[in-house]
């Protein structure tokens, strides 16, 4: 008899562990453990050290805002980590795990989220997560130009 398999569609998202997290090996390990505890799979990861130009290209939509220079300064202050995450609802699940953009609000309203636990300020908020399928596709291509997202999804779906 052929065993019944339940194919579960997977979704990919791009996560950043920003420089303040990557300054501490211990924090980095804790965050990876928190990701895995949610059954979110880390499909790929790489360390990144940005120039001001690269930070500006990624955060172009924020150019002109009062926090733009601060944000680019923060993101070029040291190495950070880019991750490709996979789960059935990866975009929503990762954003739920990191919590609201502003750590002080996260501490009040969602105290168990990663930004509540580790975020330092509105700008130095420790994490990034793609906000839609299209953004995830573009952001994964930005950090992992060698990866084929369609192939990755096929592999993920067949392993589900
Ligand atoms: N009001 C603010 N004051 C200071 N820094 C800010 C503010 N809003 C956003 N930032 C910084 O700019 C980044 C990008 O802002 P965006 O609005 O895209 O936030 P987000 O979608 O919650 O966070 P991310 O895109 O990093 O996941 C934030 O993660 C934060 O580092």
Q: Give, in order, the Cα–Cα distances in Å from 10 to each of 25, 150, 156.
A: 29, 11, 6
Overall average pLDDT of the 76-97 stretch: 98
Give the CATH number of domain 11-159; options: 3.30.70.141, 3.50.50.60, 3.30.1380.10, 3.90.25.10.
Answer: 3.30.70.141
pTM: 0.92
Return the number of other C-beta atoms located less than 10 Å from residue 102's C-beta: 16
- Pocket mutation for ligand 1, best pick of 20, 55, 101, 127 (most atoms within 8 Å of C-beta): 101
120-151: pLDDT as tens digits: 999 999 999 999 999 999 999 999 999 887 77
- Backbone phi and psi for residue 3, each to the nearest 5 degrees, phi listed first: -65, 145
Q: Whose CA is nearest to atom 10 of ligand 1?
A: 123
Q: Where are the domains of the chain?
A: 11-159
- Assign 81 a pLDDT band (cuts: 50, 70, 90): very high
Q: Does the interface predicted TM-score (ipTM) exceed 0.90?
A: yes
Overall average pLDDT of the 100-127 stretch: 98
The DSSP symbol for 2 reads P
Cβ–Cβ under 8 Å, residues 126 and 20: yes
Higher-confidence residue of 2 and 24: namely 24
Ligand 1 centroid from CA 160, angstroms: 33
Q: At residue 117, does pLDDT exceed 70?
A: yes
């Amino acid at each position: 008899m052929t065993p019944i398999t339940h194919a579960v569609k997977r979704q990919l998202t791009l996560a950043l562990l920003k420089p303040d997290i990557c300054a501490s090996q211990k924090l980095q390990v804790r965050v990876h453990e928190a990701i895995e505890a949610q059954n979110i799979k880390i499909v790929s990861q790489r360390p990144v050290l940005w120039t001001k130009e690269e930070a500006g290209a990624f955060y172009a939509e924020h150019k002109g805002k009062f926090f733009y220079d601060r944000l680019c300064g923060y993101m070029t202050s040291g190495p950070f980590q880019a991750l490709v995450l996979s789960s059935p609802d990866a975009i929503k699940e990762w954003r739920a795990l990191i919590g609201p953009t502003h750590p002080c609000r996260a501490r009040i309203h969602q105290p168990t989220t990663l930004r509540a636990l580790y975020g330092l300020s509105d700008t130095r908020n420790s994490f990034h997560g793609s906000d839609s399928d299209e953004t995830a596709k573009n952001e994964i291509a930005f950090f992992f130009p060698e990866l084929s997202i369609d192939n990755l999804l096929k592999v993920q779906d067949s392993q589900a």
